Chain A
Amino acid sequence: MSDSAVLQPGLQQPGWQVDRFIVSTALVGLALLGGLIWLETAPFMVALFVIGTLLGMALYHGAFGFTAGWRNLVVKKRGAGMRAQLLLFGLSSLIMVPMLHSGQAGLVGAVAPVGTSLVFGSFIFGLGMQLGGGCGSGTLFTVGAGNIRMVVTLVFFIAGAVLGSIHLPWWLDQPGFDPVPLVNSFGVSGAILVQFVGLGLVAWWVNRIERKAHGTIERDELLWKGQSHGVLRTLLSGRWPFTWAILILAAGNALTLAIGGAPWSITFAFNVWGAKALEVVGVNMSQFEFWTWDYPAMALKDSVLTNIPSVMNFGLLLGAMLAAGLANRFNEASRNRPEGRQFLAAVVGGLLLGYGARLGFGCNIGALFSGIASASLHAWVWFACAFAGSLIGIRLRPWFRLPN
């Protein structure tokens, strides 16, 4: 029997069903966790929790997956998903680079060293994306939407991240150099301009591939209106046009910077969760150099409710769950039970994602999106290397019985 019910009068539209149980559970979870954060931490953490929730809804309703966007370009030669990402990076760069250099104290960009660690980490992250079935944000929002295979990916993502944290000091000792903020060389306007040129060149390359394969370019990334329903219903139950997701994601990252002091990041929380779990079973994490550095050491010692990436991830998971409930599609991806090799892909992919994210200083959000929004060279290196790794991952997918 269906567990769904027609919406209450006022929101009711023909044929629109929501999963009441999932929506109620997500709302109760948001209220409980939001209340706890409010009582025990500070109001700005509640604001970040709410932003995380909205970002989770935007990722789910916008179907804003970096992994599928890259794969669509390579396999189907369709570039709308990729161009949507480029638009997002451009818009965020325009907003956040001036914010970071406005002179306001306490704002730190997502900059990171460029070297062996970054190249190797982002390459295996890209490979892991295609096997695991998502990047950092993709894994989280699909887990929130009830995808069982992605739960496996997340568990091994966390395991890989902890392993990466243990090895990171060795990788940092390999050839590399300090962060390169483009603003130092080009100034604020120049850095934005240089990045626009870079994004434009990638867009030109994407368009060339699509035009060569299909003769024309589908401009799905520029659609403003939902294709089948009214605005309110589309807003609540999806699917959002890319433009809505782009605006919410760009605004969300800018607000995260303004409120939390640093751009949006996801995977550091996985390190903290994994390290805390190991400490529970008796492992002394402070024997590893990474966990003696100030920020990781403090994050490990204190509550996850004081850790910004953790709090935003909790919001993201619940936001995606709420969105999936409103769309009546919770757990839909798990209706067909994954077979053995697909689970193996989740295990291998998860480990590569976690290890790669730590060595590469983040995922598609923390390293790529926030890195470009901070005009850091490392984000561009990350982009190129992760895309190269993704190409290999796409070739390996059929062996794992994953559709391309």
Chain B
Amino acid sequence: MERAYSRTRILAAFGIILVLILVDHLNSPTFAFNSGQGNVQTALSQRDETACAPCGAPCPSTRN
């Protein structure tokens, strides 16, 4: 059976996604914290339990 995809494209797509994730991470507060920088707020230990929806939206009753 003939292959239905290009290996090069698969690897290129993988490489691009990995680089994007790395660049995003290297510019993040979590990376700064891991590098020894204090006073940074990271998302890892943060959860907004007061929000009204999983996306963090407030309750309709609190909006004026």
Q: What is the size category of the interface that chain B forms with chain A? A: 35 or more
Q: How far is the CA of A124 from the CA of B63 in the complex (A)?
A: 25
Given contacts A25-B11, A293-B51, A302-B28, contact A178 B59 (CB under 8 A): yes
A199 at the binding interface (Cβ < 8 Å) = no
Q: How far is the CA of A293 from the CA of B21 in the complex (A)?
A: 23
Q: Which residues of A contact B14 (CB under 8 A)?
A: 25, 29
A73 at the binding interface (Cβ < 8 Å) = no
B4 at the binding interface (Cβ < 8 Å) = yes
Min C-beta distance of B1 to chain A, whole Å: 5
Asked if A298 and B4 sit within 8 Å, CB to CB, the answer is no
A184 at the binding interface (Cβ < 8 Å) = no
Given contacts A42-B44, A302-B43, A305-B21, contact A176 B54 (CB under 8 A): no
When C-beta atoms are compared, the residue in chain A nearest to B28 turns out to be: A303
Asked if A172 and B44 sit within 8 Å, CB to CB, the answer is no
By CB atoms of chain A within 10 A, which of B30, B54, B63 has the most? B54
Q: How far is the CA of A295 from the CA of B1 in the complex (A)?
A: 48
Q: How far is the CA of A19 from the CA of B51 in the complex (A)?
A: 45
Of B7, B22, B47, B57, the residue contacting A361 (CB under 8 A) is: B57
Q: Which residues of A contact B21 (CB under 8 A)?
A: 33, 36, 304-305, 314
A254 at the binding interface (Cβ < 8 Å) = no
Asked if A293 and B18 sit within 8 Å, CB to CB, the answer is no
Min C-beta distance of A102 to chain B, whole Å: 16
Chain B proximity mask over A283-305: 1 for CB below 8 Å, otherwise 0? 00000001001111011011111
Asked if A306 and B28 sit within 8 Å, CB to CB, the answer is yes
A2 at the binding interface (Cβ < 8 Å) = yes
Q: How far is the CA of A2 from the CA of B53 in the complex (A)?
A: 48
Q: Which residues of B contact A25 (CB under 8 A)?
A: 10-11, 14
Asked if B51 and A303 sit within 8 Å, CB to CB, the answer is no
Q: How far is the CA of A111 from the CA of B54 in the complex (A)?
A: 7
**Interface hit among A51-59, A236-244, A326-334:** A326-334
A21 at the binding interface (Cβ < 8 Å) = yes
Question: Which residues in window 41-62 of B have CB below 8 A to A?
Answer: 41-44, 46-49, 51-61
Chain A proximity mask over B3-39: 1 for CB below 8 Å, otherwise 0? 1110100110010001001101100111100100000
Residues of chain B at the chain A interface (Cβ within 8 Å): 1-5, 7, 10-11, 14, 18, 21-22, 24-25, 28-31, 34, 41-44, 46-49, 51-61, 63
Seed contacts A113-B52, A293-B57, A305-B28; 17 additional CB < 8 Å A-B pairs: A1-B3, A2-B1, A40-B34, A45-B44, A106-B49, A108-B49, A173-B63, A265-B54, A290-B55, A294-B48, A301-B43, A302-B30, A302-B43, A302-B44, A330-B5, A334-B4, A334-B5
**Which 10 A-B residue pairs are closest in the complex by CB-CB distance?**
A295-B56, A303-B28, A302-B43, A112-B53, A331-B5, A331-B4, A295-B48, A303-B25, A306-B43, A3-B3
Residues of chain A at the chain B interface (Cβ within 8 Å): 1-4, 21-22, 25, 29, 32-33, 36, 40-42, 45, 106, 108, 110-113, 115, 146, 165, 168, 172-173, 176-179, 261-263, 265, 268, 271, 276, 290, 293-296, 298-299, 301-307, 314, 330-332, 334-335, 358, 361-362, 366, 370
